[in-house]
Structure 1
Amino acid sequence: MDSAPPSSYQGHRYPVEIISHYVWLYHRFPLSFREVEELMLQRGVLVSHETIRRWCAKFGQTYANGLRHRRLWPGDTWHLDEAFIKINGEPHYLWRVVDADGDVLDILVQNRRDTAAARCFFRRLLKKTRTVPRVVVTDRLRSYGAAHREVMPSVEHRSHKGLNNRAENSHQPTRQRERAMKGFRSTGGAQRFLAAFSGISPRFRPRRHLMTAPEYRAEMTVRFAIWDQVTGAAAVPTAA
């Protein structure tokens, strides 16, 4: 079952539909915990920013995992890219892979950008997705080629900066959040947040420019229904 187990909500003062909505707001929009608190206060719901932080830490990854499990099998073309981020002023790299539909398959924060780091990411991908792509597309970073030959030599590797716009564009929402959060404080904290964020936020960012307004609303209705199923809010009886 993809929904969060009912036992995980035991002991919480607020019902699942409130908790899941706070977690959705924080991961979907570039808002701080205090801004989410203020936004919901205007609607008459009083929850402290510290409680919101705990809810996001406890449920964010669970919800993200549920959404990933609801996806169809990932496409056979994977786009990989790495982006520079700062954690407490120190340089780190955010490795990310998306499929041809733009769905984020995985992210990994590392402090290196060499062959060992690329190899680690490749192995993590194969283990997590339990599938092998037909094609991997990367930029011209030589570490990708060396890791590819070692970990997945049978997979076609296309190395060209112009082919990898899909992966590069997927970093933009992360940049927005990084600015809103005024940077990350620890490697572990960055990995935990970005893993949940990458599993939740893209699910509510369909390619709207390819849809008519009715198509967009219909698509979002489906995605909200899936969110309710994954979080367990769909099982909550509605008051008459």
Structure 2
Amino acid sequence: MIDFKGAHYPKSVILYAVYFYVRYGVSYRDLEEIMAERGVSVDHATLNRWVVKYSPLAARAAQKRKANTAESWRMDETYIKVRGEWVYLYRAVDRNGQTLDFMLSEKRDTKAAKRFFANALSNNGLPKRITIDKSRSNAAGIKEVNKIFKRLQIPVKIGTVRSKYLNNIIEQDHRFIKRLTRPMLGFKSFASAAATLAGIETANMIRKGQLGSSTSGFRQFAGLAG
């Protein structure tokens, strides 16, 4: 359950603003106008604070509630600009395109890949295989995870497949994320970028039906607050 204690606006107003921002890709100035049209006077700085504070909490709840995913994964990273510099958004989906996990990293190396895989395994269980591109660091990250399994005497080895064709599904999925970040006019800090992207990924999971499809997207997002 997300705690709204101390908030000066109703919970429903906050959730509506956060969901609208991460789902439809508008600037904070535009969102300020949209909220005013609905009779809510709130400045863009406050809207930013809401997104940064509540998006990661919603993402955490979504990870726990999402439907089971397939054991064949597709993993890749894409570029996001923060403070005028490119950073790396690690992402993984299953063979059906369902979102598994994501992580923003300032570096693209074996250490970052290992950290991403560790989080993804913790949240989604063990896959039979992971399809990657020709990235050496991603292959090394999987190798490091397998070494840990061997050292702990866990009789599991994750298979690695290198295939650009099979990874088309995640490259297409990147486009939805990039389309939403484009109107946001760039991120001013790594922390705000990571928080906002967590909200965008959550909205993407809802769009895919990973949290159920019996109610509207906003109702599903609001439901994550408990």
TM-score by length of 1: 0.79
Q: 1:141 to 1:131 in 2, by over 3 A?
A: same
1:221 is the counterpart of 2:215 = yes
1:150 is the counterpart of 2:153 = no
Offset at 1:89?
2.8
1:49 is the counterpart of 2:44 = yes
Look up the SS of the partner of 2:70 in the other structure: coil
Structure 1 match to 2:189: 186
Q: Which string of whole-angstrom CA distances, capped at 9 and with x for unpartnered residues, describes residues 168-212 of structure 1?
A: 1121122123321222233233222212321233312559xxxxx
Distance (whole Å) between structure 1 residues aligned to residue 217 and residue 185 of structure 2: 30
1:118 is the counterpart of 2:134 = no
Q: 1:10 to 1:122 in 2, by over 3 A?
A: closer
Structure 1 contact 178–184 (Cα < 8 Å) conserved: no
Q: Which string of whole-angstrom CA distances, capped at 9 and with x for unpartnered residues, describes residues 44-87 of structure 1?
A: 22222222222222221112222222112332121100112332
Q: Which string of whole-angstrom CA distances, capped at 9 and with x for unpartnered residues, describes residues 121-179 of structure 1?
A: 2223223x161111211112222222222213711211110100121112112212332
Structure 2 match to 1:39: 34
Look up the SS of the partner of 2:224 in the other structure: helix
Structure 2 contact 101–120 (Cα < 8 Å) conserved: yes
* Counterpart amino acid of residue 136 in structure 1: I
Q: How does 1:68-107 map to 2 (within 5 A)?
A: 68-107=63-102
Distance (whole Å) between structure 2 residues aligned to residue 219 and residue 67 of structure 1: 14
Q: Which string of whole-angstrom CA distances, capped at 9 and with x for unpartnered residues, describes residues 93-115 of structure 1?
A: 22111123423222222233333
Distance (whole Å) between structure 1 residues aligned to residue 50 and residue 225 of structure 2: 12
Distance (whole Å) between structure 2 residues aligned to residue 34 and residue 60 of structure 1: 19
Q: Give the length in aligned residue pairs.
A: 216
1:161 is the counterpart of 2:161 = no
Structure 2: state its 5+ residue gaps: 148-156
Look up the SS of the partner of 1:149 in the other structure: helix
Structure 2 match to 1:196: 199
Q: 1:17 to 1:91 in 2, by over 3 A?
A: closer
Distance (whole Å) between structure 2 residues aligned to residue 222 and residue 190 of structure 1: 26
Q: 1:11 to 1:113 in 2, by over 3 A?
A: closer
Structure 2 match to 1:131: 125
Distance (whole Å) between structure 2 residues aligned to residue 10 and residue 116 of structure 1: 38
Query: In percent, how many aligned pairs have the same letter?
Result: 32
Structure 2 contact 27–185 (Cα < 8 Å) conserved: no
Stretch deviating more after TM superposition (76-85 or 21-30) = 76-85
Structure 2 contact 52–192 (Cα < 8 Å) conserved: no
Distance (whole Å) between structure 1 residues aligned to residue 111 and residue 8 of structure 2: 46
Structure 1 contact 67–200 (Cα < 8 Å) conserved: no
